[in-house]
Structure 1
Amino acid sequence: MQKLAKTQYPIHNLLQSRWSPLAFSQQVVEPEKLLSVLEAARWTASSFNEQPWSFIITTKKNPTEFDHLLGCLTETNQQWAQDAPVLMLSVAKLRFDRNGKENRHAFHDVGAAVANLVIQATAVGLFVHQMAGFDVEKAREVFGIPDDYEPVTAIAIGYLGDPQKLPENLLQRELAPRTRKPLEKFVFTGNWGQFFDTPIAKR
């Protein structure tokens, strides 16, 4: 199953073919591929090279830990994420190591690291679905996350599964076309809301 982005302008095939499925196969993710996607996250740019990201990883090889993370997800996300072979949490360190001050870019940098992870996953045939729908405080308690760190997203990683196994409400989401706002809705110049109107954009 492919859901290629219908882009306004050309982009790299990895970006065009990346999407977030709900139907995952229970096929095990090879350790070398998992380490590869984490290595891609490792080499992400960050403010002052602080690298404020951490990842908590669970796999079905350790069902107790996997179920602990699954139990932090919303009920809707549990419906489909239970089939993914890998569940993760991304976590942001909220203060700089260099001076102890607040790092207001921490969430940005963690997001950038996960974006690198996602593209590397796509390159090696894996799919990733990031989730905002999880209980942050429960995750903090279950995994002993310190106070100066903040859980950011839950993440499912694996191979594509059969969408027909999804409940009807989730199947409709899975089969729906991908959509995005057009560039003119968020690319501005001069004043807020004034589209960056280049000659190529007028074609």
Structure 2
Amino acid sequence: MSKYKIHPLLEKRWSPRAFSDKPVTEEDVNKIFTGASWAASARNEQPWKYVYGLKGTPGFDRLWECLLPGNQPWTKNAAVLFVALQRHTFESNGKTNKKAMHDVGLANAQLLLQAVSVDIYGHLMAGYDAGKAKETLRLNEDMSPVCMGALGYLGDANDLEEPFKSREREPRTRKPLEEFVTKL
């Protein structure tokens, strides 16, 4: 897959759309979010918050309604939906935290790796209505959504509708290092 050997969790991580109907336990959800909690952050502020809903609950349905139509068909099968939020100011001094989104990204990366370590897969999405999410979650001005995510066990791509079925079967590719790494 890669020219250079990397950690197996990094190779295993991907963003599926096909999820099985197997539920994710509350215990595993807590482990996954604990993985996010250990991410590095500016001044150790940990400017992230997560709001989630389990499939079959009103919370899941409220979050699902925030998704754009392009993500709704396949996310209905996920076991968990969540919103990753960022706090815009430092709690310690009230000043703007210009690196908050970066830190949330680190937390999301660790969340995904923790999930895949127990065979739960995640798919992060930008295709959601941020205004609706803010309203649904009653966020104040210091908090805003960064992305939404779906979590679950792998399902069968044949159960997906098109165009999702085809996308699920496409080979995973990555740009070669020469395209994004430069030695000075």
How many angstroms apart in 2 are the aligned matches of 1:21 and 1:128? 7
- What is the letter of the counterpart of residue 100 of structure 2? A
* Number of aligned positions between the proteins: 184
Aligned-residue Cα RMSD (Å) equals 0.9
Which consecutive unaligned segments of at least 5 residues does structure 2 have? none
Taking the TM superposition and a 5 Å limit, the aligned residue runs for 1:26-175 are 26-62=21-57, 64-175=58-169
Which consecutive unaligned segments of at least 5 residues does structure 1 have? 1-5, 191-203
Q: 4+ residue stretches of structure 1 with deviation over 4 A?
A: none
Q: Could you list the per-position Cα deviations for residues 92-149 of structure 1 after superposition, in whole angstroms to 9, with x for gaps in the alignment?
A: 0011112111111101100100111111111111000000000000000011111111
Give the match for residue 194 of structure 1.
none
The CA deviation at 1:182 is 1.0
The CA deviation at 1:61 is 4.2
Greater relative contact order (Cα 8 A, min sep 6): structure 1 or 2? Answer: 2
TM normalised by structure 2 equals 0.97
Question: What secondary structure, in the 3-state scheme, does the structure 2 residue paired with 1:188 have?
Answer: coil
How many angstroms apart in 1 are the aligned matches of 2:31 and 2:16? 20
How many angstroms apart in 1 are the aligned matches of 2:145 and 2:16? 22
Q: Identity rate of aligned residues, in percent?
A: 45
- What is the letter of the counterpart of residue 80 of structure 1? W
- What is the letter of the counterpart of residue 122 of structure 2? V
Give the match for residue 24 of structure 1.
19
